[in-house]
């Protein structure tokens, strides 16, 4: 485990007792720190207390005696309104950091690969981790994905930490200096937390703020914002910069032409791997993810054949265009992680004959920016709080059925897709919405889709989901 012994004897306030917060509290407690932990949720506080974590209302503490505040990334410290604990810490002149910062400070020997972006972070993180492990490199994979940072193993100089980092985490990690930083893409999301698009871009750009000439930044140029950021990094001449793309040539970088990846870092356009037939990396967006992963592996010195073999053996990631079942030739795809319009748009452009399950808790703007991406949708089945709003937006363009609940939508999509009998048909859960109106998380929503799909009737059935995958992310 990560060594936090340097924090022994310190008094540390911790706000937020979710998965990462609990891990942080345990590690600090075991390292001999005095932990003052709090969460606004009574259930979270009780779970922490049951785990032996001291609970203390931070709003009633003497902040003069506290060394610093560790803030869970989901809790605001600036926009739209700082949490009371953040306000108290600032008033007392105490620094506010996150668990990733503790990890970085404690492990300054191992190499770090850091990944951020609006979409594709988890798939890219998992793919990079898979490639490195396949090459026999000791690897710790976590951060915003899966294992909390402070539950990762301690690695030596030969190891590599592969960290998915949200914009919230980047703001709380001032010491981050990854050997390889990856910025996949930026599209409007979480704007209320950053005071607008400019603030969001600035937060994402923090991933390479501390890099020097010995470090490398890979930047996706498939969107205007990414292209502009790449130009800015090149102009600064502070680190090595490599562009990458899923569908256009990126001179001096990594790019794909017709789903074949090429390495053009030395301006020789050397083939890396063909993604044709890769069921676990569908769509142009996943080609972009694969380009970022391949560029990272090449930067770390891995051979092309190892990269190619590893990409082909990548099993995919739960809830991100995850193949749940094939029933009588119809594929059932769980893309519950598509909680925004941009992510759903990527999925809708990955298939040709779609029976689309969408809806949930709509984000600002509803379906703005997606309506020109629904050409492959044969019928939409709507669920959740957004169903009437989405019906109004979609009904003049495609057939729509309001279903309310997931079970109703799945059975309706199953019935229609089998009645029409089209080849290469896909029943796609890609909600374009948050899950919190009906589910505790996108994982729970995706797991229910997979569970219900596995119960559908059919003459020929291939089921790829099981109970032990429940909640996997």
Q: What is the DSSP secondary-structure string of 381-448?
A: EEESTTHHHHHHHHTTTS-EEEEESHHHHHHHHHHHHHHHT-TTEEEEE--SSBSTTT-SSHHHHHHH
Task: Give the chain's radius of gyration (CA, Å).
Answer: 23
d(CA 195, CA 200) in angstroms, rounded, equals 8
Q: In the predicted model, what is the mean pLDDT of residues 175-194?
A: 83
At 189, the pLDDT band (50, 70, 90 cuts) reads low
265 beta partners: none
d(CA 356, CA 3) in angstroms, rounded, equals 47
Q: List domains and CATH numbers for the chain.
A: 8-97 (3.40.50.720), 100-313 (3.40.1190.10), 322-469 (3.90.190.20)
d(CA 124, CA 142) in angstroms, rounded, equals 12
Phi and psi at 77, nearest 5°, equal -120, -5
d(CA 192, CA 39) in angstroms, rounded, equals 22
Is the pLDDT confidence value at 190 over 70?
A: no
DSSP 235-285: HHTSSEEEEE-SSS--TTSEEEETTEEEE-TTSS-EEEEE-TT-TTS-HHH
pLDDT more than 90, % of the chain:
79
Q: Does 80 sit behind a cis peptide bond, omega within 30 degrees of 0 on the bond before it?
A: yes
pTM equals 0.81
Is the pLDDT confidence value at 468 over 50?
A: no
Q: In the predicted model, what is the mean pLDDT of residues 188-207?
A: 78
| Token pair listed for 18 | 């979710």
257 beta partners: 260
Is the Cβ–Cβ distance between 1 and 69 less than 8 Å? no
pLDDT in tens, 412-463: 999 999 999 999 999 999 999 999 999 999 999 999 999 999 999 999 999 9
pLDDT at 469: 45
13 beta partners: 36, 69
pLDDT in tens, 115-143: 999 888 989 999 999 999 999 999 999 99
d(CA 10, CA 33) in angstroms, rounded, equals 5
Is the Cβ–Cβ distance between 36 and 54 less than 8 Å? yes
Residue 424, C-beta contacts closer than 8 angstroms, at least 6 positions apart:
331, 351, 352, 353
Calculate helix-pair angle for 19-30, 42-50, nearest 10 degrees.
Answer: 40
Helices assigned H by DSSP within 118-172: 121-134, 167-171
d(CA 160, CA 218) in angstroms, rounded, equals 17
pLDDT at 191: 63
Of 222, 354, 344, 208, nearest in space to 289 by CA: 222
How far, in Å, are 187, 282, 316, 381, 417 from residue 322 at the CA level?
23, 10, 7, 19, 19
Report helix, strand or coil for 42. helix
Q: In the predicted model, what is the mean pLDDT of residues 25-43?
A: 96
């748009």: which residue's tokens?
345
pLDDT in tens, 253-307: 999 999 999 999 999 999 999 998 777 888 788 999 999 999 999 999 999 999 9
Handedness of CA 106, 108, 114, 116 (dihedral sign): positive
DSSP conformation class of 362: P
DSSP conformation class of 332: E
Is the pLDDT confidence value at 220 over 90?
A: yes
| Token pair listed for 5 | 């012994």
Report helix, strand or coil for 182. strand
d(CA 69, CA 71) in angstroms, rounded, equals 6
Dmax (CA) for the chain in angstroms is 69
Phi and psi at 218, nearest 5°, equal -110, 125
d(CA 47, CA 352) in angstroms, rounded, equals 46
Looking at 26-30, 80-84, 172-176, 355-359, which range is the least confident one? 80-84
CA atoms within 13 A on the CB side of 268: 5
pLDDT at 280: 80
d(CA 3, CA 116) in angstroms, rounded, equals 25
Report helix, strand or coil for 100. helix
Q: In the predicted model, what is the mean pLDDT of residues 355-370?
A: 94
Phi and psi at 96, nearest 5°, equal -115, 120
Is the Cβ–Cβ distance between 342 and 187 less than 8 Å? yes
């Amino acid at each position: 485990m990560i060594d936090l012994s340097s924090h022994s004897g310190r008094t540390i306030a911790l706000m937020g007792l979710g998965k990462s917060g609990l891990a942080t509290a345990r590690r600090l407690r075991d390292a001999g720190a005095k932990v003052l932990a709090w969460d606004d949720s009574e259930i979270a506080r009780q779970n922490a207390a049951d785990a032996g974590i001291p609970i203390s209302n931070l709003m009633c503490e003497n902040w003069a005696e506290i060394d610093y505040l560790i803030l869970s990334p989901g809790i605001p410290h600036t926009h739209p309104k700082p949490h009371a604990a953040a306000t108290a810490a600032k008033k007392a002149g105490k620094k506010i950091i996150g668990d990733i910062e503790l990890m970085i400070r404690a492990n300054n020997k191992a190499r770090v690969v850091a990944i951020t972006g609006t979409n594709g972070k988890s798939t890219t993180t998992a793919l990079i981790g898979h490639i490195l492990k396949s090459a026999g490199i000791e690897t710790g994979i976590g951060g915003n994905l899966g294992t909390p940072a402070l539950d990762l193993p301690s690695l030596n100089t030969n190891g590599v930490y592969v960290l998915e980092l949200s914009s919230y985490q980047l703001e709380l990690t001032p010491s981050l200096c990854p050997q390889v930083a990856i910025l996949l893409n930026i599209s409007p999301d979480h704007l209320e937390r950053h005071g607008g698009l400019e603030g969001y871009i600035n937060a994402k750009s923090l991933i390479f703020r501390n890099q020097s000439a010995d470090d490398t930044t890979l930047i996706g140029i498939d969107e205007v914002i990414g292209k502009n950021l790449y130009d800015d990094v090149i102009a600064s001449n502070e680190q090595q910069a490599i562009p990458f793309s899923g569908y256009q040539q990126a001179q001096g970088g990594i790019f794909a032409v017709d789903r074949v990846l090429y390495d053009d870092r030395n301006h020789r356009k050397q083939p890396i791997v063909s993604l044709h037939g890769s069921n676990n990396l569908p769509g142009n967006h996943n080609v972009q993810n694969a380009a970022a992963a391949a560029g990272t592996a090449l930067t770390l010195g891995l051979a092309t054949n190892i990269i190619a073999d590893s990409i082909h053996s990548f099993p995919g990631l739960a809830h991100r265009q995850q193949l749940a079942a094939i029933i009588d030739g119809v594929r059932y795809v769980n893309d519950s992680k598509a909680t925004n319009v941009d992510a759903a748009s990527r999925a809708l452009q990955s298939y040709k004959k779609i029976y689309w399950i969408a809806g949930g808790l709509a984000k600002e703007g509803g379906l703005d920016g997606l309506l020109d991406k629904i050409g492959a949708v044969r019928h939409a089945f709507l669920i959740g709080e957004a169903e009437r709003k989405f019906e109004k937006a979609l009904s003049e363009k495609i057939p729509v059925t309001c279903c309310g609940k997931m079970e109703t939508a799945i059975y309706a999509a199953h019935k229609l897709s089998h009645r029409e009998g089209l080849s290469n048909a896909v029943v796609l859960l890609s909600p374009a919405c948050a899950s919190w109106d009906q589910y505790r998380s996108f994982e729970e929503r995706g797991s229910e889709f997979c569970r219900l799909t596995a119960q559908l009737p059919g003459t020929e059935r291939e089921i790829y989901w099981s109970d032990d995958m429940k909640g996997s992310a």
